[in-house]
Amino acid sequence: AQKVTQAQTEISVVEKEDVTLDCVYETRDTTYYLFWYKQPPSGELVFLIRRNSFDEQNEISGRYSWNFQKSTSSFNFTITASQVVDSAVYFCALSEPGRGADGLTFGKGTHLIIQP
Amino acid sequence: EAGVAQSPRYKIIEKRQSVAFWCNPISGHATLYWYQQILGQGPKLLIQFQNNGVVDDSQLPKDRFSAERLKGVDSTLKIQPAKLEDSAVYLCASSLDRTGNTIYFGEGSWLTVV
């Protein structure tokens, strides 16, 4: 079974629209971390946010916001008033450090296309 | 602060040849990771080091892949002999330690095996 599921393979919206990228995760650990990364065409993975399992507060950073709900094992990412520069592949990832190694398990990514 | 450095950026080799990738993590980061990202997929962890020791290499194809971090700083990932399916981006990443800290990635080394 996939540990991190990003069901949306590709999303295309027009600039200035709001868009939400879904992420559902699976873990048996009580302590875990969730991440979002952005991967532009250049290939580098750019860190966006890290959230630990004990902090369910939603977070807002400029046009970006994240909604963490343990009850549904989801960690969704919303971009408000999207811009062309937001076009990229976005990855959700899970870290489970309880076993001594905390390497990330990534979802398959959502390709976001913002059309001008 | 300098980020994670990787080289070479691009490499094309023939199948059955060997290749090596180098990574220099962020200064002070004890944990170093190598990931493989095949086109259209999410990155997959190959190996994780804590200082110069391996903490997870469960997904490393050990018959052809090897990695080392002898002095606990720089690391080298080697593939020998390469197969067509090894064509991918090899991403190096680092973090302060292995307790869920933020993991920072380099730009990657793009490998094409022909």
Supply the pLDDT for residue B1: 66
Q: What is the mean pLDDT of residues B68-79?
A: 94
**Contact call for B99 and A91, based on CB within 8 A:** no
Mean confidence (pLDDT) of chain B: 94
Q: What is the mean pLDDT of residues B42-69?
A: 95
Q: What is the mean pLDDT of residues B13-17?
A: 98
- Rounded CA separation B69/B76 (Å): 7
Supply the pLDDT for residue A57: 85
- Rounded CA separation B46/B66 (Å): 10
> Which DSSP symbol is given to A72?
G
Residues of chain B contacting A100 with CB distance shorter than 8 Å: 55-56, 98
- Rounded CA separation B15/B114 (Å): 6
Tens of pLDDT along chain A (116 residues) come to 569 999 999 999 999 999 999 999 999 999 999 999 999 988 889 999 999 999 888 888 999 999 999 999 999 999 999 999 999 999 999 998 877 778 899 999 999 999 99
Residue A68 near residue A51, CB atoms below 8 Å: yes
Q: Which of A44, A50, A28 is nearest to A98 (CA)?
A: A28
Shortest distance, CA B46 to any CA of chain A (angstroms): 9
Supply the pLDDT for residue B72: 86
- The alpha carbon of residue B101 and the mean position of all alpha carbons in its chain are separated, in whole angstroms, by 18
Residue B88 has pLDDT above 60, yes or no: yes
Residues of chain A contacting B93 with CB distance shorter than 8 Å: 45
